[in-house]
Amino acid sequence: MDCLFCKIIDGEIPCSKVYEDEKVLAFNDINPVAPYHILVVPKKHFASIAEVSDKDMGIVAHIHSVINKIAIDEGFSNAGFRIINNCGEDGGQEVKHLHYHVLAGKKLPLYEAEKK
């Protein structure tokens, strides 16, 4: 399948790895928007969160658990962080493989939903 993140998972394209287990890979975003900008992706290909069935939704709990672990290991758990999942055209999703952005390391600017 012609999917950038599947190629990273398969090792065809290199990445700066942060965490890996049998279900998930986490690596640094190539174009960081914060001091920490980590992408957490399931090894199984889902085009977006909208493509994850109830049966497979356990992967999302696992991803959140991995994010908590990364936050502690990288040292930004107490200061805080933001998790973002872009879904589809209006959500601004560019890479069509489910992924969660983890941003940390500075006071993050307001995002759209918080703007009045």
Using CB under 5 A, list all residues that contact Zn ion: 3, 5-6, 45, 97
Least distance from ligand 5GP to the Cβ atom of residue 7, Å? 8
The partner in contact with residue 59, picked from Zn ion, ligand 5GP, none with C-beta cut-offs of 5 to 8 angstroms by kind, is: none
Q: How many whole angstroms separate alpha carbon 35 and alpha carbon 56?
A: 32
The helix or strand, by DSSP H or E, that contains position 72, with its residue range, turns out to be helix 58-74
Q: List, by residue number, the catalytic residues.
A: 99
The partner in contact with residue 93, picked from Zn ion, ligand 5GP, none with C-beta cut-offs of 5 to 8 angstroms by kind, is: ligand 5GP
Sorted by sequence, the CB contacts under 8 Å of residue 62 that are 6+ apart come out as 23, 24
- Which of residues 4 and 72 has its CB atom nearest to Zn ion in the complex? 4
